[in-house]
C-alpha cells in the first residue's frame, strides 16, 4: 500500500494527514495537528516560520514513528505572504503577515506606476491591500536594502519546501495571488515587475502542481526518520481545496469555507474584463491551468474572532454549540462582511455592533445574537456573490459545493441554501488536504486525471445535502 502525506497549514492551525487508496476509495488519517497565528514583533504582525518548520518536522516524526514511509509529501498554505532570501539562503527582514498594516497607502504608490484598470487587465487579480504586489512596495519604501540583497523570493510554502529539500522552486498557483503573473502566459509579467522597480532576478520559472521539488535533505531525513520526495500540490490552500470539489459537472459554484470564504466557479480562461474588476472578482490559478474565478469574503474569521474574545473573557464554546444557539435567534441585522473594519479589529464584537449602530439596525446584545448576525451576514454575502457570478458568466448554477472546515457549520449551510435558493452540498471538510493528496496521487499513478480524482473523492467521503426550505432536505 502506498501512502502520501499532506501538510496543510492554515492561518490558525496546521495538520499532517496521511492518504492512501483502499478498496478503490481514498482514505485519510490525521496524525498531527498544531496551532498557527501571527505574532506582534516590534510592531509588525509576523509569522514564526522557524516554529512552523519545527512543527512540520514534528509531524513527520510521528509518521515515521508509525512505521510509515510515504511515497511523497506536499505542503499547502495561505497565499500572498513570502520570504526574501540572500545569496546564503538567510531570511532578509521580518516575515510579515498579510494582516499587518504596513501596506496601507501602498496601492497609491503602485497606481503611480500602473493604473488599477490596466493592472487588473494584465493580471486578473482583484485588489486586496495585502497582495504581494503591495507588500513588496512597502519593502521597497522602508527597507530597499532587503530587495537589493535578495536572491530569492519564495512564497511561504516555497520557503518551507526549500527548508525540506534545499531546492528553491516557485509554484504557480500561489504565485498568481501576488498580482504579478500574466494569465495568458501563466508566467511572471516581467514588464510589470520592471515598471514597479522590483528586481527581476527574484522571479524565476514557475512550477505547476505535480512537479517534484526533490528529496529531503540528509539533515531532515536524519532528524525525522522519513525518506520521501517532496511534490508540489496546488500550494495555495484554496487551489488544493477546489481540486477536491466532489463533482463531475463542468459548471459549478463552490465555497471554500474556512478562515476566509472563497466563493466562485472554475473556468478555462481568466476573465480580465473591467466589469469583473468592478465586481471585485479575481482569477487565481488552479490545477491544470484552470482558473478560480472567485471573490474573497471575510468568512469564519469573524466567528473565530468573537469566539476568541469570549474565551479570553473566560467563556469557552464549541463551534457546534455556537451554531446551535445562534439558530434560535431572530435578530434581522446584516453587516457587510467585506467591510475593512472586520479584517483585523481590536474587538470583532465591537466592530459588528458599530456597523449595526451606524446603519440603524438592531445591535446584538447577547453572544448568540452576535453569532446569528455573523452567520446571516455570511449567507447574504453568498447570495449576492452567486447572483454576480451568474450575471458575469452568463451561466445558471443550481448547486453550491461547500468544502473545508466550514462545511461542518450546519446552521450556516441551511442559511446558505435558503438565501441562495440553491441546493448546498457540504463536504468534504478536509478538502484542502484531500486536494493536496489528490495531486500527489495523480503523480503517484493512483488517479489518471483531476476529473478521475474528483469522481473518486465524491465516492470516498460523506457529502451532506441541504435543499432550500420548501423543497425538503435530502
- Count Cβ atoms below 10 Å from residue 341 Cβ, excluding itself: 15
Contact 129, 103 (CB under 8 A): yes
Task: Quote the cell numbers at residue 2.
Answer: 502506498
Task: Quote the cell numbers at residue 39.
Answer: 505574532
Nearest in space to 304 (alpha carbons), one of 257, 244, 361: 257
Q: How does strand 13-22 pair with strand 3-9? A: antiparallel
Q: Cα 302 from chain centroid? A: 16
Contact 246, 461 (CB under 8 A): yes
C-alpha 378/C-alpha 389 separation (Å) is: 16
Which value, to the nearest 10 degrees, does the dihedral of the CA atoms of residues 48, 50, 56, 59 take? Answer: -100
Task: Quote the cell numbers at residue 220.
Answer: 531532515
What are the angstrom distances between the C-alpha of 35 and each of 14, 52, 55, 59, 377? 6, 9, 9, 13, 27
Per annotation, catalytic residue among 100, 237, 398, 473: 237
What are the angstrom distances between the C-alpha of 4 and each of 71, 74, 412? 6, 8, 32
Contact 323, 332 (CB under 8 A): no
237 is known as an active-site residue: yes
Q: How does strand 25-35 pair with strand 38-41? A: unpaired
Q: Sign (positive/negative) of CA torsion 399, 323, 259, 50?
A: negative
Q: What is the largest CA-CA distance in the chain?
A: 64
Alpha helices in 124-236 (DSSP H): 132-142, 144-149, 156-165, 172-175, 190-196, 218-224
C-alpha 143/C-alpha 93 separation (Å) is: 8
C-alpha 394/C-alpha 397 separation (Å) is: 10
Catalytically active residues, by annotation: 237
Amino acid at each position: 500500500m502506498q501512502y502520501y502525506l499532506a501538510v496543510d497549514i492554515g492561518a490558525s492551525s496546521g495538520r499532517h494527514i496521511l492518504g492512501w487508496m483502499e478498496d478503490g476509495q481514498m482514505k485519510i488519517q490525521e496524525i498531527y495537528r498544531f496551532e498557527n497565528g501571527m505574532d506582534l514583533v516590534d510592531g509588525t504582525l509576523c509569522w514564526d516560520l522557524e516554529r512552523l518548520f519545527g512543527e512540520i518536522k514534528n509531524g513527520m516524526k510521528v509518521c515515521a514513528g508509525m512505521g510509515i514511509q510515504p511515497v511523497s509529501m506536499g505542503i499547502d498554505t495561505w497565499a500572498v505572504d513570502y520570504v526574501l532570501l540572500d545569496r546564503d539562503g538567510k531570511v532578509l527582514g521580518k516575515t510579515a503577515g498579510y494582516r499587518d498594516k504596513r501596506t496601507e497607502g501602498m496601492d497609491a504608490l503602485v497606481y503611480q506606476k500602473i493604473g488599477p484598470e490596466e493592472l487588473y487587465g494584465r493580471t486578473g487579480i482583484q485588489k486586496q491591500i495585502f497582495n504581494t504586489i503591495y507588500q513588496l512596495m512597502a519593502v521597497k519604501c522602508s527597507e530597499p536594502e532587503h530587495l537589493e540583497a535578495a536572491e530569492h523570493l519564495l512564497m511561504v510554502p516555497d520557503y518551507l519546501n526549500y527548508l525540506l529539500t534545499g531546492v528553491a522552486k516557485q509554484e504557480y498557483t500561489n504565485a498568481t495571488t501576488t498580482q504579478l503573473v500574466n494569465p495568458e502566459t501563466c508566467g511572471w509579467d516581467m514588464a510589470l515587475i520592471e515598471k514597479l522597480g522590483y528586481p527581476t532576478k527574484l522571479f524565476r520559472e514557475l512550477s505547476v502542481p505535480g512537479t517534484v521539488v526533490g528529496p529531503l535533505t540528509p539533515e531532515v531525513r536524519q532528524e525525522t526518520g522519513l525518506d520521501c520526495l517532496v511534490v508540489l500540490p496546488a500550494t495555495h490552500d484554496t487551489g488544493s481545496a477546489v481540486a477536491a470539489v466532489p463533482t463531475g459537472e463542468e459548471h459549478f459554484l463552490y465555497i471554500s469555507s474556512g478562515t476566509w470564504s472563497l466563493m466562485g466557479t472554475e473556468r478555462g480562461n481568466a476573465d480580465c474584463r473591467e466589469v469583473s474588476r468592478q465586481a471585485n472578482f479575481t482569477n487565481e490559478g488552479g490545477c491544470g491551468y484552470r482558473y478560480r474565478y472567485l471573490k474573497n469574503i471575510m468568512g469564519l474569521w469573524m466567528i473565530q474572532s468573537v469566539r476568541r474574545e469570549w474565551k479570553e473573557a473566560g467563556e469557552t464554546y464549541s463551534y457546534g454549540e455556537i451554531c446551535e444557539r445562534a439558530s434560535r435567534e431572530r435578530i434581522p441585522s446584516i453587516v457587510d462582511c467585506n467591510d475593512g473594519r472586520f479584517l483585523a479589529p481590536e474587538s470583532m464584537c465591537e466592530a459588528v455592533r458599530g456597523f449595526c449602530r451606524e446603519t440603524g439596525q438592531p445591535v446584538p446584545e447577547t453572544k448568540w445574537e452576535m453569532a446569528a448576525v455573523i452567520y446571516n451576514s455570511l449567507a447574504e454575502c453568498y447570495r449576492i456573490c452567486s447572483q454576480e457570478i451568474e450575471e458575469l458568466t452568463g451561466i445558471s448554477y443550481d448547486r453550491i459545493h461547500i468544502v473545508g472546515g466550514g462545511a461542518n457549520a450546519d446552521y450556516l449551510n441551511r442559511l446558505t441554501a435558503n438565501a441562495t435558493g440553491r441546493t448546498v452540498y457540504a463536504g468534504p471538510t478536509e478538502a484542502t488536504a484531500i486536494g493536496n493528496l489528490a495531486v500527489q496521487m495523480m503523480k503517484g499513478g493512483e488517479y489518471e486525471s483531476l476529473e478521475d480524482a474528483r469522481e473518486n473523492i465524491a465516492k470516498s467521503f460523506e457529502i451532506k445535502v441541504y435543499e432550500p426550505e420548501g423543497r425538503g432536505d435530502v
